[in-house]
Amino acid sequence: MTHPDLNLLITLDALLTEGSVAGAARRLRLSPSAMSRALARLRATTGDPLLVRAGRGLVPTPRALELRERIGPLVEEVEAVLRPAENLDLKRLKRTFTFRNREGFVENFGPDLLARIADEAPGVRLRFVLKPDKESNALRDGRVDLETGVVGGTMGPELRSQALFRDRFIGVVREGHPFRNGDITAERYAAERHVLVSRRGLDREAADASLAELGLEREVATVVSSYSEALAFVRSSDLIACVPEEYTGNLRQGLFSFQLPFPPPEITISLLWHPRMDADPAHRWLRGCVREVCAERMRPAVGGGEMAGR
């Protein structure tokens, strides 16, 4: 299939507006001979002479008159599409963004983010959906605008990412758990029963590798797919959970958190998006809001919650 030369649209618009080859050439900064050749191509493409001589000038054919009513708005629309984006008017912006995260993000960062969006762009709505896996198809096909997570091997190579904050894993037990009494050692930790979090159903995580280096192994009583499920078990049993500290801050309210008695696994939480959204002004503004809200939330809090040392 032969594709038409879309540059001819601009040439035709100039010819029909000026009504002469010389005038159209000046308008497009071409030589008269180049414009004459372009008119010949237009005639061959449309099957119509378009402009015919009448005395010392040119007059449009009926076909040219018909096209003149359509070609001007069409060229204006094309130029608008290719024009750099204008300044973003946040107060008039009407748009819905879909944000995909693991449980914990909304509980810790959602209220502040929503308050900022409502203040700066009241017509913008955020739709939060859970992130069941690390596949990037939702970002690629446009079902999701942004997501947070740990950059891994399953992430599409074309995706953009920017680090938001570093997080470390900590231990969590219910208030009144016997584990709170006495020194928290690696041996005591390994001797307890644990709930493990794995979306893929694995029975090992980074903490197990740290214990193995000490010649220790823990008993995993159950495996769940989310932090909230793990913490639900912790609240109602003597199980221990290992969860990221910052990401689960509000989820752990009413529980006893402690530093792990070995070098804690660390992760970097990043913001992910598809490169087609790089230059979109509204998307760029939203990315900035997420970064700043996370940075504000991550500042050291005065009089924070209880955290036991090693």
- Would you list the domain boundaries of the chain? 7-82, 88-310
Q: How many CB atoms lie within 10 A of CB 174?
A: 19
What's the confidence (pLDDT) of residue 80?
62
Contact 105, 227 (CB under 8 A): no
The 10s digit of each residue's pLDDT in 168-204 is: 999 999 999 998 888 999 999 999 999 999 887 777 8
The percent of residues in the chain predicted with pLDDT above 90, rounded, is: 45
Six token digits for residue 67: 């096209």
CA 208 to chain centre: 32
Please write the tens of the pLDDT for every residue from 258-285. Answer: 999 998 888 899 999 998 888 889 999 9
pLDDT value at residue 132: 76
pTM of the complete model beyond 0.95:
no
Predicted confidence (pLDDT) at residue 1 exceeds the cutoff of 60: no
pLDDT at residue 299, as a whole number: 47
Determine the pLDDT at residue 216. Answer: 94
pLDDT band at 75 (very low <50, low <70, confident <90, very high): confident
Q: Does CATH place domain 7-82 in 1.10.10.10?
A: yes
Amino acid 67 reads L
What amino acid occupies position 92? R
Q: Which CATH class is domain 88-310?
A: alpha beta
Least reliable range by pLDDT among 49-53, 187-191, 212-216, 306-310? 306-310
Distance of CA 168 to the CA centre of its chain: 23
What pLDDT is stored for residue 155 in this prediction? Answer: 65
The pLDDT of 212-219, averaged and rounded, is 93
CA dihedral 61, 62, 66, 68 (to 10 degrees): 30
Helices 21-28 and 7-18 sit at what angle, rounded to 10 degrees?
Answer: 130
Q: Distance (Å, rounded) from C-alpha 5 to C-alpha 198?
A: 55
Token pair, residue 51, equals 């402009």
What is the pLDDT at residue 77?
72
Structure tokens at 92: 């008039």
User: 298 falls in which pLDDT band (50, 70, 90)?
Assistant: low
**Whole-angstrom Cα distance, residue 188 to residue 296?**
36
Model confidence pLDDT, tens digit, residues 14-35 = 888 888 898 888 888 889 899 8
pLDDT reported for residue 309: 42
Arithmetic mean of pLDDT, 156-169: 86
Poorest-confidence range of 46-55, 59-68, 148-157, 288-297? 148-157
pLDDT at 156: 64
In this structure, what token pair is assigned to residue 109?
């960062």
Length of the chain: 310
Alpha-carbon gap, residue 286 to 272, rounded angstroms? 12
Q: Which of 71-80, 194-203, 218-227, 258-267 has the lowest mean pLDDT?
A: 71-80
Distance CA 229, CA 110 (A): 20
pLDDT at 304 over 60: no
